Structure 1
Amino acid sequence: MARFVLFPGRHHLLTRFQADYLRQLAEDGSTIVWAVTSANHENTKRNPVPYHRREAAIERFSVQTGLRSVVVPIFDAAPTDAFAEVTLKTITVATGLDLTPSDTLVACSTPEVAKLYELLGFPIAWVEASLDPQPERPWDVLLRLSRGDGTWRELAHPATIDVFERYRLVDTVRTVINDPIIGDEGGLTATRDYRTYVEAFAVAAERKWSAVRQYVEPGRIVDIGCGAGSVLELADREPALYESDLIGVEIARHLYQECLHKKDQGVFRNANVYFYQRNVLGGAIFDERSVDTTLTFALTHEIWSYGQRRASVLEFARRIFEHTAPGGVWINSDVCGPDDPHRSVLLRLTRDDGDNPAAVSAEPSKAYMEKLSTRARLDQFAADFAFPFSYEPVDAETVRIELASAMDFLTRKDYTDNWLSETKEQFCGLSFADWTALLTEVGFTIDPASTSIRNDWVVDNRIAPVASLTDLDGTPLNWPSTHLLAVARRPHNG
């Protein structure tokens, strides 16, 4: 007879069958050692119930069944053949119990896990797998709950039912397990060459991920405006995020289909990677307090541009705040306007690097734009830009212009592949100070890591060779910030 019954598992839901089975195993007073795996994960499809609620249900279950129990949290680790050894060592550290094959029976119905303990010499009690036909396992019962099938209560143990009802976990489980409804939205504009965008996303993904990785909270991780899913590919390779849900949301049909193609081709190792085609301007996507990390890259300027400017960005930020779990984070990386956007400056632009036609084109093609000088591109930009601005020629190469308008042009002048699409978007609508005020208004706290950034590669390679910036008296000015990284956290009590 075993002194201990080791019962490893996620234990999100306890069943009436488990109660009867464990009573039989422990009829001579054995202690049930509950090794609750993935204890540091919650709010994901694999792990919808937080550890402290699982522990509460186990303790209540033990009291109601008369079983003597010890509950030990087992934090998630990368998949390993040493899983059984790691679990046993964790139990020893946490409780002082040194479980051995001579005094411990392992209760486990998962063959792959049971095999690891068998290799160490432990005898196995197969729980549900010991019967034919097999009774429903806890996960099967949890799926009944997620489908709205009320018969889950007939199979679940009263301890689980009580904890689920008191802490409103029924709704939480349904929200986390069930997929959002996929919309049928198209792209933002009809003039985009999405092949170019896919290539650009792939090239920039590692840089983006390395800039934000340290701020990502595990759990339910959502990349809104995920493009071709390149950043989620990198998140998928992180062992620490193995138990997380990775969710991509993309409006553009071409990019969404590329995400699905990648998933079908086995690019992602995590089974819980999902993609949804939704318009982020169309309404809430996720339920309140359901997301641990939201990522947005080069998205918010589009919301500004295609929506109602600040009002739309503010509404979007409120939706992000609402769906962020307490302690969760929104990481936003995007273009950014200068700190003093309305400052008048002198912008000198090269004329000898291309053609200088007498008038702008009504239908500027890629080939046409690539032939223009930098100075001529400003005239074409002013004609096509969806956000009207004025400038005053000072001489053949120099104009007097507001700083934000100058930077909007300089950061866009080389986007000839998608010229008519890019000129519908404003990069410099919000400064870093504007962003700080907006996020604070919504309820976020601003992490000290948040900062405005100047892309020196763009300045050194795209702007400075063909342009110069001075004050109105001719004093040279430093190039302003071009991007921002905003790490916005929802307070734990918020």
Structure 2
Amino acid sequence: MTEYLLFPGRHHVLTRFQAEYLTRTARSLDGATVIWAVTSANHHTTKRNPVPFDRREAAIERLSVETGLRSLVIGVTDTPPTDDFADVTVKAIEAGTDDQVQLDPANTVVACSTPEVAKLYERLGYTVLGVEPPEQPRPWDVLLMIAAGNDEWRELAHPATVDVFDRYHLDAHVRRCVNDPVVGDDGGLTTTRDYKTYADAFETAADRKWLQIKDFVRPGRILDIGCATGATLQLVDADPRFHESDLIGVEVARHLYAECVHKKEQGRFGNPNVYFYQRNMLGSTVFPARSIDTTLTLALTHEIWSYADGSRPATVQRFVDALFAHTAPGGVWVNSDVCGPAEPDRAVVLELDDSDGANSGPAELETLVDPAAYVGGLSTRARFFQFAQDFRRNAKVPFAYTERDGRLVLRLADAMDFLTRKDYVDNWLSETHEQFCGLTFAGWREIAETAGFTVDPASKAWRNDWVIEHRIAPVAAIRTEAGESLDWPDTHQLLVARRP
């Protein structure tokens, strides 16, 4: 006897057609229980999976009550593409019901309209029934209508979905996620970023950055944009001055946001008023006007510049304008990040060591099994040519240079973009999307003042002498075209901007 009708899918949107189909099919199977296997249940706020699992589950339960379906809703963790997908889903259902539900081809029929997925269940012996015919809009088609602002989606979606979307304003959420020009399908800035390496780096650097900025932080509502793993907010939390403050973290990358939530669940914060949002601050207004006392942006603004859609100066200005709008009178924006040298267009001669590694030509790294090993094995000079190739393509910026008697002549800003990134081999393809030296400190200051901020006298450009001494100077030198040695320029900025 068929006990179960297994209906796998992401189920962001439920349609009227699905409700009618499932009701009719379950009735023909003598009232079989519909098992909604909600895949990618651990994903949300991404292009591929915009709607959180709990909202999807709420709509399914509401539909089940309205139609009289007997349903079980089981979340299935996202998995990379695999031929074992059907088996993984069946085992997830067993685990999700404490092994009380055991599916097999004798007691279960599968409802699925995706041919590739259907074949995986058929291979296990299950009977598979098609759901939507080719002419019928599928749930993802309806979701794309929502993203496009087409209100006809309300006629195709089941009232349960319409109700949940309206109550939780999910239509705006879907539009923001699907149309986001920066974030990829799975909630990352690039598909090549190793988030474990990034997380470790943020944890290590948090103490140093906090010492630099802590005297400028104002109690009240404290917002950390690009909060990464929440390490800086942990230090704010530990400071007695801020025990009664609200601590708010915003992180766009799904992997890092998950770590923030995990820390909160572990009790790593003493302050109960700690909140995390997964959001791209470029997408829309997040916080009410004049509601934030301190905004922190640490190692973030160069990413706003680098991943901007269209005009980079205009996008950065729009971002800073939004910061000013949500800053309370007397509030402060503290920005600690990289910046370009004060004379970005100055022509310099760059001398690079060619004895500290292989001198192979630039490779197509995407075709290699281990790009990091290849780049890490190159000499500093060979790594320059690899950077030039990848930086032009990924960051989509000019990177001009000429060779004169084996010496490289180029803009000072371009030389520093290479030198400050040359050792980031673990995330090379991701790092070459970013431009550290796109704006000088004076440029960042001008943007803050244009937004309406008053720049505190403590603001400054500064040079990371540790990086110069240990990473750059041993393998590189910069000179004038006449051959005179040049001092290394500033590499970082501290910008403290106050709203009058």
CA change 1:296–1:358 in 2 (3 A) is closer
Change (3 A) 1:358 1:197: closer
* Deviation for aligned residue 1:395: 2.7
| Residue aligning to 1:214 | 215
The answer to whether the 8 Å contact 1:212/1:331 transfers is yes
Question: Which residue is 2:423 aligned to?
Answer: 414
Deviations 1:311-342 (A, max 9, x none): 11100000000000000000000100000100
In the alignment, what sits opposite 1:394? 404
| SS of equivalent residue, structure 1 residue 189 | coil
Corresponding residue for residue 3 of structure 1: none
1:325 maps onto 2:334 in alignment: no
The corresponding residue for 2:443 is 434
Partners of 1:383 and 1:181 in 2: CA distance: 37
The answer on whether the counterparts of 2:361 and 2:382 sit within 8 Å (CA) in structure 1 is no
Shift of 1:181: 7.7
The residue aligned with 1:313 is 316
SS at match of 2:408: strand
SS of 1:383's partner is helix
Show CA shifts across 1:435-465 (max 9, x none): 1111111110000010001000000000000
Which residue type is aligned with residue 199 of structure 1?
D
1:332-366 CA distances to partner (integer Å, 9 max, x unpaired)?
Answer: 00100000100000000000001111444353600
1:343 equivalenced with 2:346 (yes/no): yes
Distance 1:259 1:469, change over 3 A: same
User: 1:391 corresponds to which letter in structure 2?
Assistant: Y
CA distance in 1, matches of 2:390, 2:451: 34
Contact 2:413 2:437 in 1 (8 A): yes
For 1:17-48, what per-residue CA distance to the aligned partner results, in whole angstroms no more than 9, with x for missing partners? xxxxxxxxxxxxxxxxxxxxxxxxxxxxxxxx
1:277 Cα deviation (Å)?
0.1
Matched, 1:352 2:358: no
C-alpha distance in 1 between matches for 2:191 and 2:260: 20
Judged with a 3 Å threshold, the aligned counterparts in structure 2 of structure 1 residues 203 and 389 are, in CA distance, closer, same or farther, namely same
Partner of 1:384: 390
1:446 pairs with 2:455: yes
* Aligned mates of 2:475, 2:282 — CA distance in 1: 37
Residues 377 and 215 of structure 1: is their aligned pair in 2 closer, same or farther, counting only changes over 3 Å?
same
Residues 360 and 379 in structure 1, CA contact (< 8 A), matched pair in contact too: no
Residues in 1 aligned to 2:360 and 2:204: alpha-carbon distance in whole angstroms: 35
Aligned match of 2:476 in 463, 467, 490?
A: 467
- Once the two structures are TM-superposed, the CA of residue 309 in structure 1 deviates from its matched residue by 1.2
Q: Which residue number corresponds to residue 273 of structure 2?
A: 272
Alpha-carbon distance in structure 2 between the residues aligned to 1:478 and 1:323: 40
Instruction: Quote the residue 1:225 is aligned against.
Output: 226
**How does 1:147-296 map onto structure 2 within 5 Å?**
186-296=187-297
TM superposition shift of 1:286:
0.7
Q: Secondary structure at the match of 2:348?
A: strand
* 3-state secondary structure, aligned to 2:388: helix
Looking at structure 2, the residues matched to 359 and 226 of structure 1 have their Cα atoms a distance apart, in angstroms, of: 35
The offset of 1:228, in angstroms, is 0.2
CA distance in 2 between counterparts of 1:470 and 1:261 reads: 49
- Distance in 2 (CA, whole Å) between partners of 1:358 and 1:213 is 46
**Counterpart contact for 1:361–1:380, Cα < 8 Å:** no
- TM-score of the superposition, structure 2-length normalised? 0.61
289-298 or 430-439, larger mean C-alpha shift: 430-439
- Give the match for residue 112 of structure 1: none
2:224/2:296 contact within 8 Å kept: yes
Equivalent position of 1:487 in the other structure: 496
Q: CA deviation at 1:413?
A: 0.4
1:375 alignment partner in structure 2? 381
Structure 1 CA distance, aligned partners of 2:492 and 2:320?
A: 18
**Per-residue deviation, residues 274-302 of structure 1 (Å, max 9, x unmatched):** 10000122121111000000000011111
Indicate conservation of the 8 Å contact 1:337/1:432, yes or no.
Answer: yes
Moved over 6 A (4+): 180-183
Alignment gaps of 5+ in structure 2: 1-171, 178-182
Contact 2:225 2:249 in 1 (8 A): yes
Deviation, structure 1 residue 393: 1.0
2:350 is paired with a residue whose SS is strand
Q: CA deviation at 1:399?
A: 0.3
Check conservation: 2:380, 2:475, Cα contact below 8 A.
Answer: yes
Change beyond 3 A, Cα 1:236–1:356: same
Contact 1:381 1:423 in 2 (8 A): yes
User: What amino acid is the match of 1:318?
Assistant: D
Q: What is the DSSP-based 3-state SS (H/G/I as helix, E as strand, rest coil) of the residue aligned with 1:202?
A: helix
Residue identity matched to 1:485: L
Is the contact between residue 362 and residue 389 of structure 2 (CA under 8 Å) also seen in structure 1?
Answer: no
Unaligned runs of 5+ residues in structure 1 are 1-179
Give the equivalent residue in structure 2 for 1:123: none
Measured at CA, do residues 260 and 345 of structure 1 come closer, stay the same or move farther in structure 2, by a change above 3 Å? same
CA–CA distance in structure 2, aligned partners of residues 232 and 198 of structure 1: 14
Cα deviation per residue 1:178-232 (whole Å; 9 max; x = unaligned)?
A: xx98976611111111100111011000011111000001000000000000000
CA contact under 8 A between 1:450 and 1:485: conserved in structure 2? yes
State the percentage of identical aligned residues: 59
Q: What is the root-mean-square deviation of aligned Cα atoms in Å? A: 1.5
Contact 1:382 1:388 in 2 (8 A): no
TM-superposed CA distance for 1:261, in Å, is 0.3
Take 1:359 and 1:341, find their aligned partners in 2: how far apart are those partners?
26
More displaced 10-residue stretch of structure 1: 278-287 or 472-481: 278-287
Distance 2:321 2:236 in 1: 25
Question: Hey, what's the Cα distance between the residues in 1 that align with 2:322 and 2:173?
Answer: 17
Hey, what's the Cα distance between the residues in 2 that align with 1:347 and 1:409? Answer: 11
Instruction: Describe the shift of the 1:371–1:229 C-alpha distance in structure 2 as closer, same or farther (beyond 3 A).
Output: same
Q: How does 1:52-201 map to 2 (within 5 A)?
A: 186-201=187-202
- Give the structure-1-normalised TM-score: 0.62
Contact 2:414 2:437 in 1 (8 A): yes
